[in-house]
Amino acid sequence: MTVINDDEIADIYAAALDSVELLKKGQPVGDTSNWQPVIDRNKKHLESLLDRTFWTSEDLQPLRDSIAAEVPVYVRPETPRTDQYATEAYPAKAEGVWVQQWAYRPYTTPELSDIRWEKREAIKADHQAQCHQYVEFNGVLWRGGEASAVSIKNAADLADYSGAGEIILRDALKNPHPVSISQAKAIAATIGADYQIKFQAKEEALRKLDAINLSDPDAKAQIDAISL
């Protein structure tokens, strides 16, 4: 006769609870396969364990309940709310259909701090993307951004200093354009003005973000509302 020690019983019980948990959660959302073999296999596993005689003080009722319970299959996805921290809960049946469920709790201050940091980085990334957008001047598209404006302005100043009447600038598609010094400066000014508008929008969004009191009940909604 095989003797099972307490550690082995604990391992077997833990494995049984894993099956219980799997059956409670049911078929993963998005899985459209036939899940009946999985259900049968796990329920038979639990039934076989209930027949064993080595149990001592373990609570076997969850095993019995899991065998008797209907298992969620073909679970319909449900989008969680974003105003609170969401963790997936056990599916529930509504009008004959299993529906994904979520458990909610308020965000903690450290979590909100992390969310605000992520929003700050997203705003910076959006700003960089906007600055790389083309800027139109007299029907021609030029590369946007501070660096582009400074580069064209410097080229115009150097040409002006050397006494040149015009310079060749390349547009966003690298096509050459002979332009006068005044035109070159006007192009640089247009690009620079566009950059300043975008820069100020970024700075204002970051200012509003930093001003949010993370203790406010709607702090998450305030963070979500900020964008460029």
Rounded mean pLDDT of 87-103? 96
Tokens 């027949």 belong to which residue?
51
- Alpha-carbon gap, residue 179 to 156, rounded angstroms: 10
In this predicted model, what pLDDT tens digit does every residue of 139-175 receive, in sequence order?
999 999 999 999 999 999 999 999 998 999 999 999 9
Rounded mean pLDDT of 192-213? 98
pLDDT of residue 2: 66
Could you give the C-alpha distances from 58 to 6, 47, 71, in angstroms and in order?
Answer: 11, 15, 23
pLDDT of residue 32: 93
What number of other Cβ atoms are within 10 A of residue 102's Cβ? 14
Whether residue 1 has pLDDT greater than 60: no
Give residue 128's identity as a one-letter amino acid code: Q
Average pLDDT, the chain: 95
Q: What are phi and psi of 31, to 5 degrees?
A: -80, 120
Sequential DSSP letters for 68-87: HSPPP-SPBP-PPPSSSEEE
Q: Quick one: which H or E segment has residue 212?
A: none
In this predicted model, what pLDDT tens digit does every residue of 116-130 receive, in sequence order?
999 999 999 999 999
Rounded mean pLDDT of 9-26? 96
In this predicted model, what pLDDT tens digit does every residue of 44-82 receive, in sequence order?
999 999 999 999 999 999 999 999 999 999 999 999 999
- Alpha-carbon gap, residue 55 to 19, rounded angstroms: 17
pLDDT of residue 4: 83
